Amino acid sequence: MNKSVLRAVSLLLIAAMGLSFTSCRKKKKTPAYGGSAIVGITEVPEQLDPHKATSQCEKEILVNIFEGLYKFNSNGEFIPCLASEVTISPDARSYTFTIKEDIRFHDGSDLDTGDVVYSIKRAAGLLPGQNDTPLIPELDPVVSVTASDLQVTVTLDSPDSELIELYTTAIIPEGADDIATTMIGTGPFKFDSYTPGQELTLKRNEDSRKKKEPYLDTVVFKIFPDMDTAFTALQNGTIDILPYISNSMASMLDAETFRIQGKASNSVQVFAFNNNIEPLDDKRVRQAINYAVNRDDIILRTMNERGDELTTGMSPIMVGPYNPSVNGTYAQDLVTAQALMEQAGYQRGFDLTVLVPSDDQLQIDTSLVLQEQLAALNIDLHVELVDPATFNERVFEQKDYETALVTLPCSFDPYEVVSRYASDSPDNFIGYRNTLIDLRLQEIPLTADEDDRYELYHEILSQLTSDACSCYIQDPYYICAVNKRLAGFKVFPEHVLDMSSVHLA
């Protein structure tokens, strides 16, 4: 056989092998359109006006109907939505948004700058008859909203470069003061019906500007009196999705039927120190405790690894403001921990009491692990269980405790997260004081440049870590159960039940 024939045969064999490999490669299934999903919720939505809604339950449903100029995605990133970009003035007293074109409301009308001006004015209390009383209290600094071409400019009475609510305020049709009943937005789903106390139904927005989403024809939010009842309905197949279940509930579900999904919740579980009492007023003692704690072990034993390790007072899910350089600062190191205890004069250890809310299993489980871990420093940790009301009163109001286990819910406003560490903040329940942090907190609202603001946040988080003002443990996951007949559900690092990507599996 000559060389040319051999070469031809070889090419045929290679092509055949390629076809064989291609045929074995699993093709990605295209999501189907149609069908419905039922989501279980355990709180009654009382307010369907997006500018008046305050509960997490209301907001997590309304996000499917209404949209703001910007939004958070499932990775915790702040991205444009109805606006394409924003410019903050150098003095941080005005925001100028560029509004996207070719966006329609559910009634078929086109969105324009007049709708944006009306929506922000209404939310800020600037419409005639509102008497400067904002529907969204955080927008009280807004003094004027004007439009020119495709741009809307919002002016404030004082500098504030971190007015997150301005970005996320729902945009509604101009003049729609009856929005709680008309429910006309620009989101992926339209309002269909609501039976108070029972269920709220949405239907697909056929005119959605997204090329593919949403997929489902209808979404029903079914209301249950408590989580146990909702969980039973999930197991029985009455509902398809149940968000925010406990770790123990997740372990009870049939893996053949349900998919367990988790995401950092943008919360901070903290072993809080009262910085005003001995021996916790000594930074070396606080650092020693931090070095003695094995966070991975706590996350494994309390959340079945469904949590992200923390080093400082902010979750890494807050991309940008978070300072990744602090990661691992207090990886368990008993040699260093014992040396610090000796330097502080506590080589023989001491007794310490941790206050724990009696209804919070995560904190109870964590306290027992901490007891074991701190024994290595001869610290005898006494666990005191108290009812939630007493816990809140003693920790947050009276500051009558030595240590406490707390999970601090965090909004996606980074300034709100760090401002609790200001010396004069009413939320500074740990009694921490640092003049440098006070100064940096004053600078942040005045700083228009985003990168410069991030540097200030990074400096604050680095200082909190260095001072070991408390022992940060984990950002525990939101855990959601999804029936495997559905796919595409995304867990957000906040209370959001965005159903636009969900489809039949």
In angstroms, the CA 301 to CA 281 distance is: 30
3-state secondary structure of 325: helix
For Cα atoms 494, 497, 502, give the angle at the middle one, nearest 5 degrees: 130
Distance CA 357, CA 364 (A): 8
Would you state the torsion angle of the CA atoms of residues 435, 453, 170, 488, taken in this order, to the nearest 10 degrees?
-110
Q: Which tokens belong to 326?
A: 């602090």
- CATH of the domain spanning 189-240+485-504: 3.40.190.10
80 has which bridge partners? Answer: 70
Task: Find tokens 């440098």 and name the residue.
Answer: 436
| Three-state secondary structure of 452-482 | HHHHHHHHHHHHHHHHCCCEEEEEEEEEEEE
Instruction: Pinpoint the residues of the chain covered by CATH 3.10.105.10.
Output: 267-476
* Alpha carbon distance 451, 456 (integer Å): 9
Distances (CA, A) of 286 to 271, 371, 410: 11, 16, 23
pLDDT in tens, the chain (505 residues): 444 444 444 444 444 444 444 444 556 678 989 999 999 999 999 999 999 999 989 999 999 999 999 999 998 889 999 999 999 999 999 999 999 999 999 999 999 999 999 999 999 999 999 999 999 999 999 999 999 999 999 999 999 999 999 999 999 999 999 999 999 999 999 999 999 999 999 999 999 988 899 999 999 999 999 999 999 999 999 999 999 999 999 999 999 999 999 999 999 999 999 999 999 999 999 999 999 999 999 999 999 999 999 999 999 999 999 999 999 999 999 999 999 999 999 999 999 999 999 999 999 999 999 999 999 999 999 999 999 999 999 999 999 999 999 999 888 899 999 999 999 999 999 999 999 999 999 999 999 999 999 999 999 999 999 999 999 999 999 999 999 999 999 999 988 999 999 999 9
Tell me the pLDDT tens digit for each residue of 440-486: 999 999 999 999 999 999 999 999 999 999 999 999 999 999 999 99
- Give residue 496's Cα distance to chain centre: 8
Nearest to 171 by CA among 113, 93, 94, 227: 113
Cα gap 447→469, rounded to integer Å: 26
In this prediction, residue 432 carries a pLDDT of 98
Q: How far apart are the C-alpha atoms of 460 and 462, rounded to whole Å? A: 5
CATH number of 66-182: 3.90.76.10
pLDDT in tens, 58-110: 999 999 999 999 999 998 889 999 999 999 999 999 999 999 999 999 999 99
CATH class of the 267-476 domain in this structure: alpha beta
| 156 class by beta-carbon count within 10 Å (0-12 exposed, 13-18 middle, 19+ buried) | buried
- CATH 3.40.190.10, the chain: domain bounds: 189-240+485-504
